[in-house]
Homo-oligomer: A and B are copies of this chain.
Amino acid sequence: MSDPIRSENLLYLTDEQLRQGIEAMYFAYRGFTADPDRILESLAYGRAHHRAIHFINRAPGTTVTNLLDILGVTKQSLNRVLRTLIEDGLVESRVGTSDRRERNLYLTDDGTALEHRLSDSQRGRLRAAFREAGPEDVAGFRRVLEAMMEGEMKRQYKSLRESGK
């Protein structure tokens, strides 16, 4: 009270504000995944398939190990998902040219088509939210999310962002 500037600056850091932030993340993440989930469900796929497809599309030719680093799961878990995608003809796995231990992963035409369906639905919701909020809010949204990531994840995120032209 004796220092209005300081108290004003810290108002957004009260426990109540933080708890509202926690609940906002929880409910928003559910909205964020709802649309793709509906599409995936009709195809007998899950969120894990979506994530694999997203990042293979994002970095075509990526290796299994690289994908493991990004997704943060065990290779056995990823392998099961990858196997069904390969069997279904959505992903192609080519033996590495320089190091034949590696497998380079690519989306087939069918895989690319599904990726578009999924990301269109997710982008649609995000676009509506961004439009409703406006550019200033979107910039703040991005900065807070980036500050929330763990070190290694933040590195991955920035590296992907730069490769994205």
Contacts and interface: CB of A to CB of B under 8 A. Distances in A.
Interface of A: 9, 11-13, 15-32, 34, 51, 54, 58, 72, 119, 122-123, 125-133, 135-150, 153-154, 156-157, 160-161, 164-165
Nearest to A22: B122
Copies of this chain, tallied across the complex: 2
B27 A153 contact: yes
B30 A145 contact: no
Given A18-B123, A142-B21, A132 B147 contact: yes
Contacts of A17: 130, 138
30 contacts: A9-B135, A13-B130, A13-B131, A15-B123, A16-B164, A17-B138, A18-B123, A19-B58, A19-B123, A22-B119, A22-B123, A22-B126, A23-B160, A23-B161, A24-B157, A25-B28, A25-B32, A25-B145, A27-B149, A27-B156, A29-B29, A30-B153, A31-B149, A31-B150, A125-B148, A133-B140, A133-B147, A138-B144, A140-B141, A141-B145
